[in-house]
């Protein structure tokens, strides 16, 4: 219920903000040479002369019945275009998340286990540096070293999945690394803190008193207990990943949702912008819902209604 | 038969002594109380015996258990003893159990830590243990999570975990302190009955003389990381020799010390336990002791035949307790 309300609020906000923006889409589409009459005609054709609430209802009704509308610019239906962009961005974000986790979990655990030793401090320092690197800088560095110097992976562009799955994956590797490393470095700090918390917990001492060796006790009780705070951060980081994807797609010239969003903004293709922002909002809200549901699976203290 | 022999046990952290050379023995099946104010080193002593002292604590001396030297064992070697031969009941039942794991499973873990038994066999043992610590319907209650149990019930689970592999020695660190007064007596009686049935020895750590004297045959009195007196419970209650023990008796109104005190006035020991680095040279009780003299600058040894005490100017046995001396205002 809260999820639905949140999405409704988000849709109103997105619609309102974009319609407050100055400048008429029809004017932009037709260019500086357009006559007032043709601008008025296009405005009517796009339905932009109707009262705002009606425009809103029209848009949201379309979204609910999965009619995303037609682009203001090309006049083509948006669904296929958005679908193609999603086929790039979805895997990119997923790979970035996986890569981030693959970095965060081992480094976080290791730096927690060695927190009193120099190696642990070095690891913690390394993740701090990782957090400080902006993802686009990392992306450019990776292009220079891996793509240009070593010629291992493509520097930019995207081979569609329909042409070659391997090719598509290859074109996503560097972007996913640039995207995931920073998020992984942030997550690593949370994993470290969570594991340290478990290591100092009384129940871990109880487990050791039962006769479980240190490592076994930590595995037995650490995985679940540490996953509660990590899960929270993971849900929040996903929105960070999606935002990061916009930048990374620009760096690697990937035809993803981010690129589509940027070009639509530049073209004042308001309907496309609205749809994309709503899509991102939905993904974030649904993710948080899933995280909430996962909590209840992991933590019995949060029972229904709790 | 001597089960546990602790000698010259010293524990330091960051150069500050937590235990300053502790010597005592526990015989098989014996119930010994370790008593002292908070900050006296009781808990560190228990954790050190289990090899679970916090990181950064340096341990010296000797802990012989069932004829085996425990200090210097690797974690793996120590793990084979923990829970199997020597088990521990912790102070805080609220946090001693994993909040995300069913209590039955936590008991099963204790069984399986040392016994290679089938899952149905370990489950049967778990249900038996839960019944023994007083759960009327173990089958159903073993599926609860810790937050669904009361404090007393949780402590019963912790006791069941300690009993899981029939240990020869159970260390109980303030097992009833965190519980409601009405539940304290039940849990204490349960603990006492179970160690008697099992024939296990019990080292009961408490700040509460009433608790210790109702359960234990012998009492060790600890102050400032040293034992200041060790004797049978009877002797401690009737004829304490160390001024600190006498003072402790007086503060435990109702036992031993007769209440000659003005109504409405609680006895206290003047001053407070110093912080770790703040103990005086010589006798650790200097500064709070009414019998202090120049010689107390030297550390008094813990001596005596049977009834041992560490004091240069002990109270005479049988002398009337020093009522009044310690009454705070």
- Residues B210 and B274 occupy one common structural domain: no
Mean pLDDT along residues B215-236: 93
* Residue B265, pLDDT score: 63
The reported pTM is 0.81
Q: Which of A201, A205, A211 sits opposite B80 (nearest CB)?
A: A211
pLDDT tens per residue across span A279-289: 888 888 888 88
Arithmetic mean of pLDDT, A88-97? 92
Cα–Cα nearest to A230, from A196, A193, A199: A193
- Residue B220 dihedral angles phi and psi, to the nearest 5°: -110, 130
Residue B221 lies in a domain: no
Q: How many angstroms separate the CA atoms of A240 and A96, rounded?
A: 11
Q: Is A210 close to B110, i.e. CB distance below 8 A? A: yes
Identify the burial level of B181 via C-beta atoms within 10 angstroms of its C-beta, where 0-12 means exposed, 13-18 middle and 19 or more buried: exposed
The pLDDT of residue B325 is above 70? no
Q: Is the predicted pLDDT of residue B323 greater than 60, yes or no?
A: no
Helix (H) or strand (E) holding B162: helix B151-163
**What pLDDT score does A124 carry?**
81
CB contact under 8 A, B95 and A213: no
Among the partner-chain residues B52, B100, B158, the one whose CB lies closest to the CB of A208 is: B52
Number of folded domains that form chain B: 2
Q: Which residue of B has its CA nearest to A298?
A: B100
Nearest CA in chain B to A301: B147
Which of the listed residues B198, B216, B234 is the one where a domain comes to its end?
B216
Kind and range of the H or E run holding B172 = strand B169-173
Regarding whether B109 and B34 lie in a shared domain, the answer is yes
Residues of B in contact with A214 (CB under 8 A): 75
Task: Characterise A182 by phi-psi region: left (phi > 0), alpha (psi -120 to 50), beta (else).
Answer: alpha
Residues B120, B165, single domain; the answer is: yes
- Whether residue A18 has pLDDT greater than 50: yes
pLDDT band at A303 (very low <50, low <70, confident <90, very high): low
CB contact under 8 A, A298 and B82: no
| pLDDT for residue B282 is more than 60 | yes
> How do residues A200-212 score in pLDDT, each as one tens digit?
999 999 999 999 9
Q: Looking at this predicted complex, what is its ipTM? A: 0.86
When mean pLDDT is compared over A128-132, A289-293, B1-5, the highest value belongs to B1-5
CB contact under 8 A, B110 and A203: no
Residue B320 lies in a domain: no
Q: Which of B236, B285, B296, B196 lies closest to B34, judged by CA? A: B236
The single residue listed with the structure tokens 């042409």 is A163
CA distances (Å), origin A66, targets A54, A60, A61, A276: 18, 9, 8, 13
pLDDT the model gives residue B253: 56
How confident is residue A154, by pLDDT bands cut at 50, 70 and 90?
Answer: confident
Lowest mean pLDDT among A105-119, B23-37, B310-324: B310-324
Same domain for B266 and B210: no
* Shared domain check, B7 and B152: yes
Of all residues in chain B, the one with the smallest CA distance to A115 is B55
B90 interaction partners in chain A (CB closer than 8 Å): 202, 205-206, 209
Domain CATH for B148: 3.40.50.300
B35 with B168, same domain? Answer: yes
Is residue B175 located within the same domain as residue B125? yes
Residue B27 has pLDDT above 60, yes or no: yes
- B293 & B148 share domain: no
Q: Identify the three-state secondary structure at position B288.
A: coil
- Residues B159-202: tens digit of each pLDDT: 999 999 999 999 999 998 888 888 888 889 999 999 999 899 99
**Whether residue B173 sits in one domain with residue B87:** yes
What's the confidence (pLDDT) of residue B2?
92
pLDDT digits (tens, 9 = 90+) for A55-87: 888 888 888 877 777 777 777 788 888 888 999
Distance, CA of B126 to CA of B106 (rounded, Å):
9
Examine the domain organization and report whether B171 and B305 are in the same domain: no
The ranges of chain A annotated as CATH 1.10.3720.10 are 87-255
State which residues form the domain around B256: 245-309
Asked whether residue B231 is domain-assigned, the answer is no
Same domain, B191 and B256: no
Q: What is the pLDDT of residue B146?
A: 94
**Chain A contact set for B92 (CB, 8 A):** 202
Contact state of B147 with A300 under an 8 Å Cβ cutoff: yes
pLDDT in tens, B75-89: 999 999 999 999 999
In a domain, B227, yes or no: no
Per-residue pLDDT tens over the stretch A263-279 = 888 887 888 888 898 88
Considering the domain A87-255, what is its CATH architecture?
Orthogonal Bundle (1.10)
User: What is the pLDDT confidence band of residue B255, given thresholds at 50, 70 and 90?
Assistant: very low
Which is nearest to B188 in space by CA: B198, B202, B199, B200?
B202
On the question of pLDDT at B266 being above 80, the answer is: no
């Amino acid at each position: 219920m809260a999820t639905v309300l949140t999405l409704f609020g988000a849709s109103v906000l997105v619609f309102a903000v974009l319609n407050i923006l100055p400048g008429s889409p029809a004017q932009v589409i037709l260019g500086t040479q357009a006559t007032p009459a043709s601008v008025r005609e296009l405005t009517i054709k796009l339905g932009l002369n109707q009262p705002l609430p009606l425009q809103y209802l029209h848009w949201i009704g379309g979204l609910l019945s999965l009619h995303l509308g037609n682009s203001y610019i090309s006049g083509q239906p948006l669904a296929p275009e958005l679908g193609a962009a999603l086929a790039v961005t979805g895997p990119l974000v997923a790979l970035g998340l996986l890569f981030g986790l693959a970095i965060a979990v081992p480094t976080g655990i290791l730096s927690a286990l060695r927190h009193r030793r120099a190696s642990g401090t070095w690891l913690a320092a390394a993740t701090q540096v990782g957090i400080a690197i902006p993802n686009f800088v990392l992306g450019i560095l990776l292009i220079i070293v891996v793509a240009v110097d070593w010629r291992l992976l493509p520097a930019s562009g995207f081979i569609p999945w329909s042409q070659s799955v391997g090719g598509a994956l290859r074109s996503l590797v560097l972007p996913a690394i640039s995207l995931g490393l920073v998020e992984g470095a942030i997550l690593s700090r949370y994993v470290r803190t969570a594991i340290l918390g478990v290591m100092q917990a009384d129940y871990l001492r109880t487990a050791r008193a039962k006769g479980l060796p240190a490592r076994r006790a930590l595995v037995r009780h650490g995985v679940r207990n540490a996953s509660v705070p990590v899960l929270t951060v993971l849900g929040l980081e996903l929105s960070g990943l999606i935002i990061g994807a916009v930048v990374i797609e620009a760096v690697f010239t990937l035809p993803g949702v981010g690129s589509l969003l940027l070009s639509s903004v530049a073209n004042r293709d308001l309907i496309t912008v609205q749809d994309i922002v709503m899509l991102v909002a939905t993904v974030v809200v649904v993710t948080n819902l899933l995280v909430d549901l996962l909590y209840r699976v992991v933590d019995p203290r949060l029972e229904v209604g709790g | 038969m001597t089960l546990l022999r602790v000698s010259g046990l010293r524990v330091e952290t960051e150069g500050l002594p937590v235990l300053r050379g502790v010597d005592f023995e526990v015989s098989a099946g014996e119930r010994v109380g370790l008593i002292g104010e908070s900050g006296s080193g009781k808990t560190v002593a228990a954790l050190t015996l289990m090899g679970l002292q916090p990181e950064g604590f340096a341990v010296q001396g000797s802990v012989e258990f069932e004829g085996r030297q425990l200090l210097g064992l690797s974690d793996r070697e120590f793990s084979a003893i923990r829970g199997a031969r020597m088990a521990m009941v912790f102070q805080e039942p609220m946090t001693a159990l994993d909040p995300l794991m069913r209590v039955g499973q936590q008991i099963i873990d204790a069984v399986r830590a040392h016994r290679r038994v089938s899952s149905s066999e370990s489950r049967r043992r778990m249900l038996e243990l839960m019944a023994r610590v007083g759960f009327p319907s173990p089958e159903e209650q073993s599926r609860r999570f810790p937050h669904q149990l009361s404090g007393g019930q949780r402590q019963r689970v912790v006791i069941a975990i300690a009993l899981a592999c029939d240990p020869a020695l159970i260390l109980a660190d303030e097992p009833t302190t965190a519980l409601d007064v009405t539940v304290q007596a039940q849990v204490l009686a349960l603990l006492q009955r179970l160690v008697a049935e099992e024939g296990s020895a019990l080292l009961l750590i408490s700040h509460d003389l009433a608790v210790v004297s109702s359960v234990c045959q012998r009492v060790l009195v600890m102050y400032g990381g040293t034992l200041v007196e060790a004797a049978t419970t009877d002797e401690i209650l009737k004829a304490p020799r160390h001024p600190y023990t006498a003072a402790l008796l007086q503060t435990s109104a109702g036992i031993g010390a007769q209440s000659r005190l003005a109504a409405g006035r609680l006895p206290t020991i003047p001053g407070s336990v110093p912080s770790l680095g703040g103990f005086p040279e010589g006798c650790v009780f200097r500064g709070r002791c009414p019998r202090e003299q120049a010689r107390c600058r030297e550390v008094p040894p813990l001596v005596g035949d049977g009834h041992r005490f560490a004091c240069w100017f002990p109270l005479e046995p049988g002398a009337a307790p020093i009522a009044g001396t310690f009454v705070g205002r």
